[in-house]
Amino acid sequence: MSPALTRSDTAHRPQPDVRLLQSILDTLPTAILIVGQDNLVTDANAVAEAFFDIGRQLMIGQKIDRLLPFGSPLLALIAQVHTRGATINEYGLDLGRPGQDADRRVDVHCAPLPESGDGVLIVLQERTIADKIDRQLRHRKAVRSVSGLASMLAHEIKNPLSGIRGAAQLLESGIDDADRALTQLICEETDRIVRLVDRMEVFSDARPLRREKINIHAVLDHVKRVAQSGFGRHIRFVEDYDPSLPPVAANRDQLVQAILNLVKNAAEAIGDAVDGEITLKTAFRPGVSLRPVGDRNTVGLPLEVCVRDNGPGVPDDIVAHLFEPFVTTKSSGTGLGLALVAKIINDHGGVIECDSLPRRTAFRILLPMYREETPVDDGDPAAEPSKSTDMTIAKRGRAQK
């Protein structure tokens, strides 16, 4: 056995580097808080700052109940730790606050810290991002199914439809006016089916994505001008941009198409309301990373683009399936618009999700930022196709408000 440490031994023991310890806390993927006996916050890491949307210096010295909704069950957990002096875990706790875009469900770990004078360590693991990414994977599987269906339809349906339409046109020249209406109906319906198949063919497009260095604000400005000159002329547009946002590696035309679809959907949801408003927002949200299948490197998604409207919202039973093909709230819709948006964002290596409340429906897109080493397709037909974006998730901090 080693001899007991003497006072001189302990005096020369290396002291912990406070900055290093804080750096370690800041790199952890969970929000961490320390509160005292009087529930005053005594320390917090960077992820907690993002989670509560308040700076660490402002958070320290503040009572934790000011950061939580009224009557939050987390306060009861802290009190139990103080009373029992034992660790307590709780799963699926709702920490949402009035005015936030959506519920905030977290797994909570509370442990006593007797060395800090009856302090309590609180670890918050947000479940929202992981749950939404799981839905994203289901959306991608559904889109891949439509891709195979679209390829089959192009060959097995469009050709027979052409023959049917041609036969109807030949019949039209030898019949009277009363029957000609029927041949015209055949032509119109075959044309409608062809248009639907053409829309579905977009999902089977596997050509390499041509990307370049894009200013996302230029894309949003273009979309706003298009909307204001047509379907959104009666709607007030609000811009809430982060001017320091770095560029994104993207295909400009496809990105315009995706965001324009979202804005058009928002305008249709608002309808003829006199107070209709669409907010276009950008922000830098470090916190979510993807690792494409077969790739050891993770890709961060810090660029957030949000399209928010004050329409009636999306029914609860549809929200979870909103980006799947053939799911729509419109009586005359095909349910392919949002599925196409999801495909475009997926092709860019990003994520899209919807949070819907009455008069506050927000579609959020998370995209990777442009880097000098980012491979950008210069139009070479031999360019390598983009990698699959089925993914594993590395979460650091909170990626959305």
Q: CA-CA distance, 367 to 349, in Å (whole number)?
A: 7
Q: CA-CA distance, 114 to 112, in Å (whole number)?
A: 6
Same domain? 45 vs 157: no
Structural domain ending residue among the three candidates 168, 185, 203 = 203
DSSP 347: H
Averaged confidence pLDDT in the chain: 75
Give the chain's residues under pLDDT 70: 1-18, 21-22, 96-104, 116-117, 127-156, 198-208, 286-299, 325-335, 373-401
Q: CA-CA distance, 279 to 304, in Å (whole number)?
A: 13
Residue 165 CB coordination number (10 Å): 19
Q: Which pLDDT score is estimated for 354?
A: 85
Same domain? 49 vs 170: no
Same domain? 194 vs 231: no
The answer to whether residue 376 is domain-embedded is yes
Q: What is the CATH number of the domain that holds 259?
A: 3.30.565.10
> Exposure pattern of 2-27 as b/e (b: 16+ CB <10 Å)?
eeeeeeeeeeeeeeeeeeeeeeebbe
Q: Which pLDDT score is estimated for 16?
A: 56
Instruction: Yes or no: say if 336 and 198 are a contact pair by the CB < 8 Å rule.
Output: no
Same domain? 146 vs 94: no
Q: Which pLDDT score is estimated for 227?
A: 93
Same domain? 222 vs 197: no
Same domain? 122 vs 99: yes
Structural domain ending residue among the three candidates 156, 182, 203 = 203
Q: Which pLDDT score is estimated for 216?
A: 94
Instruction: Yes or no: say if 126 and 105 are a contact pair by the CB < 8 Å rule.
Output: yes
The answer to whether residue 152 is domain-embedded is yes
Same domain? 76 vs 212: no
Q: What is the crossing angle of helices 128-156 and 158-172, to 10°? A: 50
The answer to whether residue 12 is domain-embedded is no
Q: Which pLDDT score is estimated for 332?
A: 58
**CA nearest 121: which of 64, 58, 56?**
64
The answer to whether residue 261 is domain-embedded is yes
The answer to whether residue 226 is domain-embedded is yes
Q: CA-CA distance, 89 to 92, in Å (whole number)?
A: 10
Residue 222 CB coordination number (10 Å): 15
Three-point CA angle 325, 330, 332, nearest 5°:
90
The answer to whether residue 6 is domain-embedded is no
The string of pLDDT tens digits covering residues 74-123 is: 888 888 888 888 888 887 777 765 445 455 678 888 988 877 667 899 99
DSSP 381: T
Same domain? 101 vs 139: no
Number of domains within the chain? 3
Q: Which pLDDT score is estimated for 127?
A: 65
Q: Which pLDDT score is estimated for 323?
A: 76
The string of pLDDT tens digits covering residues 326-352 is: 666 665 556 677 888 888 888 888 888
**CA nearest 78: which of 138, 30, 37, 47?**
37
The answer to whether residue 113 is domain-embedded is yes
The answer to whether residue 14 is domain-embedded is no
The string of pLDDT tens digits covering residues 147-175 is: 556 565 665 677 778 788 888 888 887 78
Same domain? 154 vs 287: no
Q: Is the dihedral of CA 223, 229, 235, 239 positive or negative?
A: positive
Q: Is the pTM of this model over 0.85?
A: no
Distance of CA 51 to the CA centre of its chain: 16
Q: Which pLDDT score is estimated for 142?
A: 56
Contacts of 56 (CB under 8 A, 6+ apart): 44, 45, 46, 48, 49
Same domain? 246 vs 378: yes
Domain range for 153: 130-203
Residues in the chain: 401
Same domain? 310 vs 372: yes
Same domain? 226 vs 324: yes
Structural domain ending residue among the three candidates 154, 172, 203 = 203
